[in-house]
Amino acid sequence: MTVIEARNIGKRYSLHRSNASYRALRDDIMNAFHWFTHGRGKRRDTDEFWALRDIDFSVQQGEVLGIIGPNGSGKSTLLKILSRITPPTTGEVKIRGRVGSLLEVGTGFHPELTGRENIFLNGAILGMGKKEITRKMDEIVAFSGIEKFLDTPVKYYSSGMYVRLAFAIAAHMDPDILLVDEVLAVGDAEFQKKCLGKMEEITKKQGRTILFVSHNLDSIRTLCSRCILLRNGRKIIDEKTDLVINSYLKDIYKENITGYVFKNDLSKEAVITRVEINSEQGNQSGFLADKEINVNVEFEINTPIQALLCLMVTDKENSPYIFSSEKDDRPDNEQSLKSYQKGLYRALITIPPNTFIPGFYDFKLQIDQPFIKTFDITSSLSVIVSEKTRPLGVHWREKIQVKIAPSISYTITQKT
């Protein structure tokens, strides 16, 4: 039986050209006033873009459908439409059965309330009734493993406990169709395994339909029989999982190398004008963990300064992963800085192989006097590092959740 039938789904967003982070009533009133006094002038400038376009697909009951694609390809928008959080601009979706979404765990948790109270609150937000929650309470608590802290306000919980409780509640919803977005990226390895197990159990045993959005290709491979690849809001392939993943990876690696270009601004002392991140294999959107990553930088010095070129790498949670500069840092700051004359400079920064574990990183380049003055800093440049060519040692590493994965040589000789 077909439980989801999407036809011609499209979603258009308008971006206001003004840089204001929000819209002010004051501005609109002034604009309206201007309109009255100066007659029909220019309308408010907006740029439009289609987050999703012409999406057609159907899902059978009991099927586990994976949705993959690079950042900004429209995966989350698609789930938002299916869960009725936002309406589509075109097309329609027919859905048979109750839809539950796991778009982000812990939605609506209140820090002042206890674990037990939050189970009721969160359950109600997810569409469960009081009776249903009471009936499942024991199961939820057991699954989350936080029995001891059930009557403690969740503000005292560690982030791990928080996520475990949240997932436990969500996993015990009884929807006919479950929408999952990236939840498995949280929690420790053991808990992740438990979640994957739970998801498998949900589909296999109970014949429930699941739509699963993830960057984690491994879990997509384990869970999903069929997969949709999205790119720039369009459906590229809709096939068996292995086929789709392979073509996704091929796509990532052969994409043309493009640089990030920034404008020189003469009012600043120094400006980074171009950044190109590449590797023997791969480019901006995907690098292999066991290959060198090269960062090519061009910068212009407009006024002579004392400064350093620095590279900062953070993970997606913004915690710093690497901070490095062209010279070693020394306590006597003056001496460690470099004198730059006016002119255009080019730099090559090489990150050795096996520095990163697979994941998402933000690269930022800056010209500054560390802790004193920043002359220029680029916006975050996204970098995806995927598995090594030979997935050696992946098995252990995933269980232990290491932060770095260099290849380390062991030389052992027998003495006696």
Partner 1 sequence: MRELVIKPKSVFRLDVREIWEYRELFYFLAWRDLKVRYKQTAIGVAWAVLQPLLTTVVFTVFFGKIAGITTGNIPYPVFAFTGLLFWNYFSNFLSDASGSLVANRGIIEKVYFPRLIVPLSGIVVYLVDFFIGLIMFGVLVIVYGVHVSLLGIAFIIPAVCIATLASSGLGMFFAALNVKYRDVRYALPFFIQLIMFVSPVIYPASVLGRHQWLWYFNPLSGVLEGTRSLLFGLSPLNVPLLLSSAGMSIVLFVVGLLYFKRTEQWFADIV
Select from 103-111, 216-224, 284-292, 395-403 the region that touches partner 1 (CB under 8 A).
103-111
If one asks whether residue 391 binds partner 1 (CB under 8 A), the answer comes out as no
Q: Which two tokens stand for residue 73?
A: 């390809």
Rounded to an integer, what distance in angstroms lies between the CA atom of residue 374 and that of residue 270?
10
End-to-end CA distance of the chain: 69
Residue 114: CB atoms within 10 A of its CB come to 17
Give the three-state DSSP class for 220: helix
| Residues in region 47-86 near partner 1 by CB under 8 A | 80-86
If one asks whether residue 97 binds partner 1 (CB under 8 A), the answer comes out as yes
If one asks whether residue 25 binds partner 1 (CB under 8 A), the answer comes out as yes
Site string for partner 1, 159-198 (x = CB under 8 A): -----------------x----------------------
If one asks whether residue 89 binds partner 1 (CB under 8 A), the answer comes out as yes
If one asks whether residue 304 binds partner 1 (CB under 8 A), the answer comes out as no
Select from 124-132, 205-213, 224-232, 364-372 the region that touches partner 1 (CB under 8 A).
124-132
Give me the least distance between CB of 185 and partner 1, in Å please: 16
DSSP-derived secondary structure letter, 412:
-
**Which whole-number Å values give the CA distances from 287 to 102, 213, 297, in the listed order?**
29, 21, 18
Q: Which two tokens stand for residue 325?
A: 């500069």
Q: Which two tokens stand for residue 357?
A: 């574990």
If one asks whether residue 23 binds partner 1 (CB under 8 A), the answer comes out as yes
Q: With contact defined as beta carbons under 8 Å apart, do 79 and 66 qualify?
A: no
Select from 98-106, 158-166, 253-261, 396-404 the region that touches partner 1 (CB under 8 A).
98-106
| Residues in region 319-338 near partner 1 by CB under 8 A | none
Give me the least distance between CB of 50 and partner 1, in Å please: 13
Rounded to an integer, what distance in angstroms lies between the CA atom of residue 338 and that of residue 334?
9
Rounded to an integer, what distance in angstroms lies between the CA atom of residue 118 and that of residue 116?
5
Residues that bind partner 1 (CB under 8 A): 13, 22-26, 28, 80-99, 101, 103-104, 107-108, 110, 112-113, 117, 120-121, 124-127, 129-130, 176
